[in-house]
Amino acid sequence: MRNILAITAATLMLIMSATAFGQSRSTGACCFNDSTCYDNLSENECFSSGGDWAGAETTCNSDGSCPNTGACCLFDNPDGPYCVITTESSCVLVAGEYAGHGTACGPNGECPNVGACCFDATGSGDFTECHTLTGSQCAAYGGYYAGDGSQCGGSGNCPNVGACCSEWNGGYICEVMPAEICLSFSGAYGGDGTLCGVDGSCITSSITGACCLANLCIDTTEEHCTSIDGNYAGDYSTCQQVTCDLGETCLGDLNNSGAVDIEDLLILIGNWGPCP
């Protein structure tokens, strides 16, 4: 290895000397797979030496490291993805997923650009199989991505799915799926982590409906709607389907008490977060 590095360094010195008296050229930092970095090389000089050019007018970092390296997530380990620091081109050569310049691996070699990806593996409508992938890989395989840093459950279960109750042949059925799919066909989503009954039935904790408050509508359970003095429109209804009769309202008076006070603030905090 030392001989190879010595040859590479000697080659670089010859190239730089040969071009020193020529016409001006665009130069920058040149990085190698062993994380060494050399300044003042043109793109062609860097490439011909087996390096990865960082771009015009770039320089090596003050500690001699490369400015164009980042976290590369690899998937050739049966125990799961792992992370190494390398250049983007080197990452692509080994079929890795590059997280971007300057990104870092986790303290134990974790990939920063992967998360839980959920699938309907059996075609039954239940998204119960979870694998750790990048967002782009998840989309390519037809899965639903829970976000960078999200994790599959200890039993391989999905973190971003829940019970979805919908009408079917005059009755109701329950399937486990992401909220996005559930709401796309006007199903009632019980929330992340909620479960269907053993026989595929909708259990009470999973059944939601439209809840009309003084000047807004939220999809929630009847119990929760009642607790915040809302008007429940019925099981499986959604705010997309229901028009709340708001009447003359006071902006911010969420419980229609005639005043904006601490109780309205508590209702707001209790429903804080992304809308379904």
Contact in structure between 190 and 164 (CB atoms under 8 Å): yes
How much is the mean pLDDT over the chain? 78
Task: Indicate the residue type of 110.
Answer: E
CA end-to-end distance (rounded Å), the chain = 56
- Give the percent of the chain with pLDDT over 90: 3
**pLDDT of 22 above 70:** no
Percentage of the residues of the chain whose pLDDT score is greater than 70 = 82
Predicted confidence (pLDDT) per residue in 30-79, tens digit: 988 777 889 999 989 998 888 888 888 889 888 888 888 888 999 888 88
Taking the whole predicted model, whether its pTM rises above 0.75 is answered as no
Phi, psi of 89 (to 5 degrees): -65, -40
| H helical segments located in 65-188 | 88-93, 135-140, 179-184
pLDDT of 204 over the 70 cut: no
Kindly give the residue spans of alpha helices, DSSP state H, lying in 73-191. 88-93, 135-140, 179-184
Q: Report how far residue 206's alpha carbon sits from residue 74's, in angstroms, rounded to the nearest whole number.
A: 38
> Helices (H), strands (E): how many in the chain?
7, 15
Residue 166, pLDDT score: 80
Give the residue among 45, 107, 100, 110 at the shortest CA–CA distance from 70.
100
Give per-residue pLDDT as tens, 96-118: 888 888 888 888 888 888 888 98
Whole-number Å distance between alpha carbons of 229 and 255: 6
- Across 62-77, b (16+ Cβ under 10 Å) vs e yields eeeebbbbbbbbbbee
85 and 52 in contact (C-beta within 8 Å)?
A: no
Would the pLDDT of 11 be above 60? Answer: no
Q: Where are the domains of the chain?
A: 1-66, 161-203, 208-276
Q: Which residues contact 2 (CB under 8 A, 6 or more apart)?
A: none
- Model pLDDT, residue 18: 47
Question: What was the pLDDT predicted at 274?
Answer: 65
Work out the pLDDT band at 268, boundaries 50, 70, 90.
confident
Read off the pLDDT of residues 120-156 as tens digits, 9 standing for 90 and up: 877 776 777 888 888 888 888 888 888 888 888 777 7
Q: Report pLDDT for 5.
A: 42
84 pLDDT above the threshold of 50: yes
What was the pLDDT predicted at 7? 43
Q: Span 170-193, mean pLDDT? A: 79
- Residue 233 confidence class, pLDDT cut points 50, 70, 90: confident
Distance, CA of 157 to CA of 232 (rounded, Å): 32
In this predicted structure, the answer to whether residue 26 has a pLDDT above a threshold of 70 is: yes
